């Protein structure tokens, strides 16, 4: 299981030192005979004591996270009251241990240490996304709430007079249906799952904010933003700066998509100007728009590339799709996946029970018990998702020789970016090499390929940024519980230029209808990943000696590139992410210019299409 990984970012935000408590001294006021009454000062902790503490902390955390991972796996793949109980119990124990160790770590704030030891101590304070206070009852309640909300989401369904839909079936309708009334019904129906979460989420934030304060952070917002080897406010400002680099491209895309949807549905359904109704973009959350490509594609350009059709034509099974993903990594020089991966993963949705189908990658024992959990559909989207999730697994295995506290990615965006950079290499040339495609499409089809990519990659960026912007506002009190839903839609309208298809109120809790909110998974990692993957791709293609258009480059079957990836992956989180970035790209900062480079031909074309349109919202 991939947990939120620690970072060196919060050195300046350490809790108040507990060293004075370790001395046993109590301040009693001035004494008339200070030299006679003063007790001897306790000896300051030594580097050797810190080393012993870290060895114990790594060992205890490893045992606890394995228990938690196993319980969470069962809770996700066998949803029932018993599995929720086991997950909540393990979660409580892990949370309490993490808080205890974090507070112990504070005793060593002033000890002179080597960089690795200092980084591990700081890492202990950032292990949990939702830390519990050092109180067993509140830790138990926090774990119970988290398990309850995930179960609510996993069991969520919508039923009308004709039938019941699970989320996967509704998502399939969003991908294919062009019936605006059905899509509006399903959009609203799925969001019935989340209002019961609202009081639970409010309680959870209150408890976890206390936990964050116990660790020395002002609130959860500061804790979350401290995970990036930067000052928290500087990190947020840099994320905004990267968004501004790609915002003109997004605005051009939104303008073109709105015009095409208006032409298809008419003014009564989609306005010619302003915001796009959220239910018409091919995705339950309007976070990616690739499913509406047929409605917005460049006219006169017919794409011969349909990965879903290629999968069907080849007669690939779900297992074949996973084996193909493994073969990609083997071509880069990585060792095959362990046999246990094939025995223990969940590849398809079981018929006999409720499960969480949301795709995820797991390392149960923090060594090599690697698994993926999916309900694979035989389509191009899941073909790409498989490559992505396996990227997590190979990364997890690469850093398994690091101390437990460093068994994570350089920052959480790196984990996602690594999977996605493999996805960028699922190009026509790759499909030809593996025998799914006879020959590469001609260059005049590239505009269509770029549009398909942009509908997923560029359309996602503002959503990837705003989910945590909403949570940061919730955590720091800027957004009160009475305004949860209003604040959510203010951000969605501001950043995405979309609008809810039906009236929303504070009786609703639309953030809870997105898995990562009840699942307590930070989301900025995905925004970072969508930028970092293009940085990686540009640099790795250059390393491979590729000189053509970036969107046609695949790193498949290049051992030199594989070695470069391994070098970075094996670092885990043992060094600042800037070091890992430099190891692959030669840059030490985030740089969204690679996205602009990748999509430059599409931007020129979009601006031509939009010259007589009123863009913006």
Question: CB neighbours (10 Å) of residue 443?
Answer: 10
Phi-psi region of 244 (alpha: psi -120 to 50; beta: other; left: phi over 0): alpha
| Structure tokens belonging to residue 401 | 């020789």
- Angle (CA) 457-458-464 rounded to 5° is 80
Distance CA 70, CA 65 (A): 8
Nearest-10 Cα torsion for 290, 296, 298, 299: 140
Distance between CA atoms of residues 406 and 412, nearest Å: 12
Our answer to whether residue 181 is catalytic in this structure is: no
Separation CA 297–CA 85 (nearest Å):
49
Give, in degrees to the nearest 5, the angle at Cα 407 between 406 and 411: 75
Alpha helices in 24-135 (DSSP H): 34-37, 47-77, 81-105, 115-124
DSSP string, 131-153: PPPS-HHHHHHHHHHHHHHHHHH
Residue 537 is among the residues annotated as catalytic for this protein = no
What's the CA gap between 443 and 200, in Å, rounded? 53
Give the pairing type, strands 157-159 and 360-363.
unpaired
| CB-based contact 537:553 (threshold 8 Å) | yes
Token pair for residue 616? 């913006």
Burial class from Cβ neighbours inside 10 Å (0-12, 13-18, 19+) for residue 611 reads exposed
Whether the CB-CB separation of 279 and 183 falls below 8 Å is answered with yes
Residue 394: burial class (beta carbons within 10 Å; 0-12, 13-18, 19+)? buried
Written as six digits, the tokens of 167 are 């989320």
Q: Which of 87, 93, 144, 389 is catalytic?
A: 389
The secondary element (H helix, E strand) that includes residue 157 is: strand 157-159
**Cα distance between residue 426 and residue 601, in whole Å:** 20
CA distances to 32, 120, 294, 401 from 367, rounded to whole Å, are: 61, 19, 44, 8
Instruction: At 312, list the tokens.
Output: 């069907």
**Closest of 425, 398, 413 to residue 564, by C-alpha:** 398
d(CA 569, CA 131): 27
Say what angle helices 412-424 and 380-398 make with each other, to 10 degrees.
130
Candidates 516, 560, 570, 582; catalytic one:
516
CA distance 162 to 590: 50
Q: Helix count (H) and strand count (E) of the chain? A: 25, 6
Strands 498-499, 276-277: pairing kind:
parallel
Query: Which residues are part of the catalytic machinery?
Result: 389, 516
């Amino acid at each position: 299981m991939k947990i939120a990984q620690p970072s060196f970012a919060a050195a300046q935000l350490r809790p108040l030192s507990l060293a004075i408590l370790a001395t046993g001294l109590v301040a009693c006021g001035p004494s008339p005979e200070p030299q006679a009454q003063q007790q001897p000062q306790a000896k300051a902790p030594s580097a050797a004591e810190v080393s012993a503490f870290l060895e114990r902390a790594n060992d205890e955390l490893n045992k606890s996270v394995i228990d938690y991972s196993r319980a969470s796996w069962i809770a996700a793949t066998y949803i029932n009251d018993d599995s929720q109980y086991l997950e909540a119990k393990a979660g409580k124990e892990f949370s309490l241990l993490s808080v205890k160790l974090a507070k112990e770590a504070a005793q060593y704030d002033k000890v002179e240490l080597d960089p690795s030891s200092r980084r591990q101590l700081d890492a202990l304070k950032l292990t949990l996304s939702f830390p519990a206070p050092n109180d067993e009852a509140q830790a138990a309640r926090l774990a119970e709430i988290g398990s309850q909300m995930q179960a609510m989401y996993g069991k969520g369904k919508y039923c009308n007079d004709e039938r019941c839909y699970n989320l996967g079936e509704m998502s399939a309708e969003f991908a294919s249906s062009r019936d605006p009334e059905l899509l509006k019904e399903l959009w609203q129906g799925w969001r019935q799952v989340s209002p019961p979460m609202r009081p639970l989420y409010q309680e959870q934030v209150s408890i976890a904010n206390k936990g964050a304060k116990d660790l020395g952070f002002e609130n959860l917002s500061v804790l979350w933003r401290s995970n990036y080897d930067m000052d928290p406010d500087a990190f947020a400002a840099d994320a905004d700066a990267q968004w501004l680099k790609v915002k003109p491209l997004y605005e051009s895309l939104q303008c073109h998509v709105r015009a095409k949807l208006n032409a298809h549905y008419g003014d009564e359904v989609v306005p010619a100007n302003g915001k796009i109704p959220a239910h018409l973009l091919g995705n339950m959350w309007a976070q990616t728009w690739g499913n509406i490509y047929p409605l917005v594609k460049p006219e006169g350009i017919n794409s011969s590339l349909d990965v879903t059709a290629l999968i069907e034509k080849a007669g690939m099974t779900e297992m074949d799709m996973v084996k193909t993903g493994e073969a990609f990594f083997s071509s880069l020089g990585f060792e095959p996946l362990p046999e246990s991966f094939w025995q223990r993963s969940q590849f398809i949705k079981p018929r006999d029970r409720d499960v969480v189908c949301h795709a995820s990658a797991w390392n149960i024992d923090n060594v090599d018990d690697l698994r993926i959990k999916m309900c694979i559909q035989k389509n191009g989207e899941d073909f790409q998702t498989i490559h992505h999730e396996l990227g997590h697994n190979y990364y997890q295995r690469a850093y398994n020789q690091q101390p437990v506290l460093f068994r994570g990615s350089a920052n959480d965006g790196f984990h996602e970016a690594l999977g996605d950079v493999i996805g960028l290499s699922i190009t026509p040339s790759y499909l030809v090499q593996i025998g799914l495609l006879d020959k590469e499409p001609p260059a005049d089809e590239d505009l269509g390929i770029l549009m398909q990519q942009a509908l997923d990659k560029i359309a996602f960026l503002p959503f990837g940024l705003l989910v945590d912007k909403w949570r940061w506002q919730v955590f720091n009190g800027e957004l009160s519980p009475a305004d949860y839903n209003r604040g959510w839609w203010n951000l969605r309208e501001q950043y995405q230029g979309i609008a809810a298809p039906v009236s929303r109120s504070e009786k609703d809790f639309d953030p809870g209808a997105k898995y990562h909110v009840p699942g307590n998974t930070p989301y900025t990692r995905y925004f970072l990943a969508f930028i970092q993957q293009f940085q990686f791709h540009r640099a790795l293609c250059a390393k491979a000696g590729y000189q053509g258009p970036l969107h046609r480059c695949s790193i498949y079957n290049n051992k030199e590139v594989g070695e470069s990836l391994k070098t970075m992956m094996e670092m885990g989180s043992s060094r600042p992410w800037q070091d890992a970035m430099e190891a692959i790209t030669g840059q030490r900062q985030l740089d969204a210019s690679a996205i602009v480079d990748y999509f430059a031909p599409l931007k020129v074309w979009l601006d031509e299409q939009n010259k007589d349109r009123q863009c913006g919202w």
